Amino acid sequence: MRPLFKLIGTLYLAVVLSVQQGDDVDVDSYVQSETPIAKAGVLANIGPDGALSSGAAPGVVIASPSTTNPDYLFTWTRDSSLVFKALIDQYVSGQDTSLLGHIENFITAESIIQQVSNPSGTLTTGGLGEPKFNIDETAFTGPWGRPQRDGPALRATALITFANFLLSQNNESFVTQTLWPIIQNDLNYVQDNWNQTTFDLWEEIDSSSFFTTAVQHRSLREGATLATTLGQTSLASGYTTQAENVLCFLQSFWNPSGSYITANTGGGRTGIDANTVLASIHTFDVNAGCDATTFQPCSDKALANHLVYVDSFRGIYDINADLGPAAGVATGRYPEDIYQVGNPWYLATFANAEQLYAALHTWTTVGSIEVTSISQAFFQQFIPSITPGTYPSSSSTFTSLTSAIRSYADEFIAINAQNTPSGGGLSEQYSKADGTPVSANDLTWSYASALTAFQARGGVFSNSWGAQGLTVPSSCVPPSTSENPTVAVTFQVDATTVFGQNIYLVGSVDALQNWDTNTAMLMSVENYPIWILTVNVPASSSIQYKYIIKDGSGDVTWEADPNNVLDTPANGALATHDTFRN
């Protein structure tokens, strides 16, 4: 263990032992002890000198040092941009001026990655939608859910934050010569592709995504402002026009009958998803009040959605069983999740708290809480008799609500604290049965989500991005529909193997590699002997497929004839339940 991690881990262990002696967790102590661990965890995963980032180019963020089950030793544009947005916020606010070198390396790394030809295309033919790259900045060419159109928007937002700071320091030359070309590439991609389908935040569903649409809207708004500042008025006009269209489309994700935001327009699931809470916190604007048009954290729609999303996990995780019906609980990606058997995620649970902290900040700033018929059920968790109306900060109702909601937000931090191991390391998930960390270890996004949640708890937020006072246009440009619709199929096969063997999937369509065993897709074995893989395949099609065994030397053993046959529906999702035929 590196000396810094050893010292921090020792301090953390002392706190954990003190807070785990009873049922209650001292959230203040956890935040104090986990903050330096989370910060060190982020920096450890950034090349070239991070303690866990061996082989990564300067400024490249590895998702996790995990290389097997799952292999996350790649750099994702989305994850990297969210991580560096958090670090840039710390730098420009003066919290940590030592981060400048990392930021400069990140800028250089992303300028290189933008130019790398990849399976999604080149810089000018769609390549910016490529989700992940090798950590040496070369293209990842294996099968994957591509394109993913949130990365360019998130990268633009991170770099615009840094650009605005440099302009405030009269450093316009670096902005115009170095940052703006990178930002413009991303904004042009968003402008040209916002109405195309995309693989979602979790890389499983090819449809329209609330998270992607929300962050695209933000990037275009702040991009237009920066373009105007730099004298690029024609570009600013184009970005603003498309931002209006994106904002209009964003409204279509609201599900009035269910009182929640539908995360994805495809996939056959309910659409209840952490995607929506994450979108709310990553498009929070300190000047926008409780605006429902942009789904601000304290808006009635975002709060109603928070209630539905959190409640969907109360009865499906054992570790939530003994918690009250209105307590903060562990949450995952979506209630139907089966990836790694479907567990709570640290970043999703932190996001629940962060949304509420942002809401509390806004209510205090505007001096009142407005309860509508849409948000009433959310507030009834704390005052069952509450009715729609506006409650000023001078009222006892305001005081009671803000106190109860802050405690509620802390409960989400507390359950993550209870399931954080003694060294403070944050994996991707923890077991829904007993809280044991599972899946990828030292997930960079988990650490970054802790940092932003803790800062929100302390009332520290980034500057406004321009959400204040926006209105939805009277007419909307509809998004494109995919010419080649797909459905998500979860392939499951009962297959017994020996050490060194793995099960792969191939089939008769491009999504299943056209029977090519060299590019066959490795299946997950979290629930051995059941092997699982979810793939988006053509809708309304008859597909043939087989499972194969590969050993350590690459030798292939085919499943016995005949081929498996699957007739896919026009929409939705389905699963197979196969047994490997020797």
Q: How far apart are CA 221 and CA 239, in angstroms?
A: 7
Q: What does the block give as tokens for 328? A: 């903060």
pTM of the model: 0.81
Question: Chain centroid to CA 342: how far?
Answer: 16
pLDDT attached to residue 475: 77
Q: From start to end of 249-322, where are the E strands?
A: 254-255, 260-261
203 belongs to the catalytic site:
yes
User: Among 150, 83, 27, which Cα is nearest to 412's?
Assistant: 27
In the numeric block, the tokens 């065994």 are attached to 549
pLDDT attached to residue 554: 84
Omega of the bond prior to 48 within 30 degrees of 0, cis? yes
pLDDT attached to residue 480: 59
Whether residue 297 contacts residue 277, with contact meaning beta carbons closer than 8 Å, is answered with: no
555 belongs to the catalytic site:
no
Domain ranges in the chain are 256-273+283-472, 486-579
DSSP 137-149: SPBP-S------T
Q: How far apart are CA 298 and CA 291, in angstroms?
A: 8
| CA atoms lying within 13 Å on the CB side of residue 440 | 23
DSSP 356-396: HHHHHHHHHHHTEEEE-TTTHHHHTTT-TT--SEEEETTSH
pLDDT attached to residue 549: 95
Catalytic residue among 200, 204, 222, 354: 200
Helices (H), 70-141: 77-92, 100-114
Residue 465 annotated as binding site: no
Helix, strand, coil shares of the chain, percent, nearest 5, are 45, 15, 40
Strands 578-579 and 486-494 come out as parallel
CA-based Rg of the chain, rounded to a whole angstrom? 23
Three-point CA angle 288, 326, 355, nearest 5°: 20
Quick check: helix, strand or coil at residue 396? helix
Q: What does the block give as tokens for 208? A: 């329209």
Question: Chain centroid to CA 209: how far?
Answer: 12
What is the phi/psi pair of residue 329, to 5°? -130, 170
Quick check: helix, strand or coil at residue 393? coil
* Burial class (CB within 10 angstroms; exposed 0-12, middle 13-18, buried 19+) of 65: buried
Question: Chain centroid to CA 437: how far?
Answer: 19
Catalytic residue among 79, 137, 203, 559: 203
256-273+283-472 topology per CATH: Glycosyltransferase (1.50.10)
Q: How far apart are CA 450 and CA 32, in angstroms?
A: 11
486-579 maps to CATH 1.10.287.540: no
* Burial class (CB within 10 angstroms; exposed 0-12, middle 13-18, buried 19+) of 216: buried
What is the phi/psi pair of residue 100, to 5°? -55, -45
pLDDT in tens, the chain (582 residues): 344 444 444 444 444 433 333 346 899 999 999 999 999 999 999 999 999 999 999 999 999 999 998 999 999 999 999 999 999 999 999 999 999 999 999 999 999 999 999 999 999 899 999 999 999 999 999 889 999 999 999 999 999 999 999 999 999 999 999 999 999 999 999 999 998 999 999 999 889 999 999 999 999 999 999 999 999 998 999 999 999 999 999 999 999 999 999 999 887 789 999 999 999 999 999 999 999 999 999 999 999 999 999 999 999 999 999 888 889 999 999 999 999 999 999 999 999 999 999 999 999 999 999 999 999 999 999 999 999 999 999 999 999 999 999 999 999 999 999 999 999 999 999 999 999 999 999 999 999 999 999 999 999 999 999 999 999 988 777 665 545 677 778 899 999 999 889 999 999 888 898 898 888 888 887 778 999 888 878 888 889 999 999 988 889 999 999 999 998 877 666 889 999 998
Q: How far apart are CA 573 and CA 523, in angstroms?
A: 18
DSSP 435-496: --EESSSS-HHHHHHHHHHHHHHTT--PPP-S-TT----SS-PPPP--SS-EEEEEEEEE--
In sequence order, the β-bridge partners of residue 129 are: none
The DSSP 8-state label assigned to residue 520 in this structure reads P
pLDDT attached to residue 1: 36
Quick check: helix, strand or coil at residue 47? coil
Q: How far apart are CA 168 and CA 517, in angstroms?
A: 55
